[in-house]
Amino acid sequence: MGVDFKKENHVAYITMNRPEAMNSLDPESMAQLVDVWGTVKNDPDIRVAVLTAAGQKAFSTGTDMKKTPAPTECMAASYLRDGQPILPHMKMWKPIIAAINGYAVGGGLEMALACDLRIASSTAKFALTETKVASLAGLNGTQCLPRAIPQAIAMKMILTGEMIDAKEAHRIGLISDVVEPDGLMDLAKKYAEKIATNAPLSVKAAKQAVVMGLDMPLDHGIAFSHLLWGVLRDTEDRKEGFQAFAEKRAPEYKGK
């Protein structure tokens, strides 16, 4: 299997499992990843997902060019039909954590950029190298990287194709945490389970407010956030949250 999937305590764990190929994605594993994101989106028992990869050498180097056949139709037809379905943020408002355990290069970095939280092992490396091979970071790299880190640094990475290490990625804000390799999944699980204990509708609304608000003028973003606050006001979970606080107990949220 190119992509492994398991569910535990409201958390989905997605593992790209082709370490012999730097966890690059061939057509089969791409199809599996698309199916997995559909499962995460549509399963009400899943509240958060963790995306990682097998081994410690690579998170992903993007498309496996050796096993990806040349296209049989024009690019416009394929793009307008399929869009970019391997990217999680285009599928759902559930939070996604990228646990980056090695090289995140090209499409691998673009997949990480599509996640909401990015944590990495101390051995991780990051780059968009497409300009070195006469191509372009065409999934989301040219748009998401300058939104994740300062524009000047993003431009340097995109135009030069140079690679940075985990320490530098943490310094510029590309990732939130750096840990030793053997502690990466423990930290990912800790964050995922902490998110999963929160009210799922509130978590979804918070992600939507942030992601959509970034493309709005500030006053519009505040108005949209207030609208979502109003939508949540009468939910069963909000009442449960207040009651649990008053009774000094852990809330039991149901996503209703």
Tens of pLDDT, residue by residue over 109-139, are 999 999 999 999 999 999 999 999 888 888 8
CATH number given to 200-247: 1.10.12
Active site (annotated) includes residue 73? no
CA distance 240 to 236: 6
Taking the CA atoms of residue 59, residue 65, residue 69 and residue 70 in that order, the dihedral angle to the nearest 10 degrees is 120
The residue assigned the tokens 């791409």 is: 30
- Where, residue-wise, is CATH 3.90.226.10 in the chain? 3-196
Which residues pair with residue 52 across a beta bridge? 15
Active site (annotated) includes residue 130? yes
Residues 5-29 have pLDDT tens digits of 999 999 999 999 999 999 988 889 8
What token pair was written down for 35? 């199916």
Element (DSSP H or E) covering residue 11:
strand 11-16
Question: What is the pLDDT at residue 76?
Answer: 59
The catalytically annotated residue of 130, 240, 247, 252 is: 130
Q: Please give the CATH superfamily to which domain 3-196 belongs.
A: 2-enoyl-CoA Hydratase; Chain A, domain 1 (3.90.226.10)
Question: What is the pLDDT at residue 92?
Answer: 85
Question: 31: which residues sit within 8 A by CB, 6+ positions away?
Answer: none
The catalytically annotated residue of 20, 28, 73, 110 is: 110
CA distance 211 to 228: 13
List the helix and strand counts (H, then E) for the chain.
Answer: 10, 10
Q: Which residues of the chain have pLDDT under 70?
A: 64-86, 89-91
DSSP 3-state of 16: strand
Question: What is the pLDDT at residue 236?
Answer: 95
**Burial tier of 39 (Cβ tally within 10 Å: 0-12, 13-18, 19+):** middle
pTM, full prediction: 0.91
Supply φ then ψ for residue 122, to 5 degrees: -65, -15
Classify the C-alpha dihedral 47-50-51-55 as positive or negative: negative
- Where, residue-wise, is CATH 1.10.12 in the chain? 200-247
Question: What is the pLDDT at residue 86?
Answer: 66
Question: What is the pLDDT at residue 189?
Answer: 98
Q: How far is CA 229 from CA 15, 201, 211, 214, 235, in A?
A: 34, 11, 15, 17, 11
